[in-house]
Amino acid sequence: MTCKSLMITAVAACLALALAGCRNPPPSTALKSNSPALRGIKSWVDAGAGQYNAAFTGSLDYDNHVSAIVGHLDLINAYRFTLTLQSTDGRYAFIVHRNWAGTHFLVQPRRSDLALARAIGEGISLAFRRPEGPWHAAVKASGDVVVYKDANDNRFLWNFAVSPNGLLPTHLSVKTPSGANYAIMFNSSTVGEPESMVISDSALNYILHLRQRTNSATSITARIP
């Protein structure tokens, strides 16, 4: 079985859990308000997902082709960020900017890659979301799963695991109103900054791997024809 087949199998398992959770919303949590699990999730929610600024390397597996990529993510919050992404083989190069007015391109992708670039931008936005409002009722009694539906009818399922720095998310599954299913895996050592992420979208069948790097950010200045 290929690596991509294994990844798609893992994604399918995550989505199955998400869909099951969405069909059967959990009852109000039986956890006490001072339980370690609830305190750990509260720390993660309270930390939010702001001021994330990191260069990255990784790969993009799409349309039966795997490209090595470099780029930079400058994120104020899940709804305001700029993503610069370029593949080392010249196949992809674009800058996605998202703000209150929606998704825009500072450097336009090729016409054939518009849907892919928009989906990647949406995946980044979803990856940094947090439950809002009375989220305590979304915590399952096990204390390591949160199921949440936002105002736009996006349905989220987070899985958490204990780390040396507390309870941190390891997997996120999202079903959007349009029917797209995202599966996101995190590798984090702190509540606010994942060192790496794997984002996949079942609708476009892409897998994006991002890993933080320490050298300078990638700059794209030429518009792709």
Show the low-confidence residues of the chain (pLDDT under 70): 1-35, 49-50, 135-138, 141-143, 165, 189-193, 214-225
pLDDT value for 10: 47
pLDDT value for 190: 65
pLDDT value for 219: 45
Tell me the C-alpha to C-alpha distance, in Å, between residue 140 and each of 8, 38, 51.
Answer: 26, 10, 29
pLDDT value for 19: 40
CA distance 147 to 137: 9
pLDDT value for 188: 73
pLDDT value for 47: 75
pLDDT value for 15: 43
pLDDT value for 1: 52
Structural domains of the chain, with CATH: 3-213 (2.50.20)
The overall pTM is greater than 0.85: no
